[in-house]
Amino acid sequence: MNEKEFLDNLGKQFDEFIGLLKNEFNVIRVNRPSPALVENIKVDCYGQSLTIKQLGSINTFLPREIRIQLWDKEIIKNVLKSLETSKRGFSASAEGNLIKVFLPELSQERRQELKKIVKRISEDFKIKIRHLRDEANKRIQDFFEKNEISEDQKFKLKEKIQKKVEEVNKDLDELLNSKIKEIDV
């Protein structure tokens, strides 16, 4: 067993989880417009399901507006329908091949709801990290039982993995706190 390769692979998996959490948080709307709020909404057109980012360019305008410049005027109704059915609280209007999406002001109740959602998402990712750690520890135990590593190596590897898990959890907590502050603004 190559210890460095094993730890590097595990580190890459942890980094992927951090990236996935960032993407999850980007989709959660706060009081600022972001292309991430609409870019992955699916639209049925041309006999297939495409995302809005595949159908036009997306720009944001402060304080709470997103503009979608579609490349094909014929699909405007499809995009408007997808925005309405996305259940994200948007209102939208069309002018030519330009769609203006307006984000409503966040109420205090909605802010509290969003905080609960981001905390739940963060906790789900921590659970995934723990499962990944447990799987890695099982593999280390298997290596030990097959006499591929010594008992000292086993304990050192488990310590390194736990240290990495603590670092990743710290990063997750920082992302969570940052998102909560963003929601409160």
Architecture of domain 35-102: 2-Layer Sandwich (3.30)
Check if the beta carbon of residue 68 is closer than 8 Å to that of residue 52: yes
Q: What confidence tens digit (pLDDT) does each residue in 29-79 have?
A: 666 777 878 888 899 988 899 999 999 999 988 778 889 999 988 899 999
Least confident of 31-35, 57-61, 92-96, 98-102: 31-35
Mean per-residue pLDDT, 145-150:
90
Domain coordinates of the chain in residue numbers? 3-27+107-184, 35-102
Whose CA is closest to 98, among 114, 128, 75?
75
Pairwise CA distance, residues 7 & 21, whole Å: 21
Query: What average pLDDT does the structure give for the chain?
Result: 88
Mean pLDDT across the stretch 9-19? 90
Could you count the other beta carbons within 10 Å of the beta carbon of residue 129? 20
C-alpha to C-alpha distance for 159 and 153, rounded to whole angstroms: 10
Top CATH class, 3-27+107-184: mainly alpha
Lowest mean pLDDT among 35-49, 128-142, 161-175: 35-49
Per-residue CA distances from 139 to 10, 16, 129, 151 (Å): 12, 20, 15, 14
Statement: residue 118 has pLDDT above 80? yes
Measured CA to CA, the distance from residue 170 to residue 30 in angstroms comes to 23
Which is nearest to 13 in space by CA: 129, 123, 127? 129
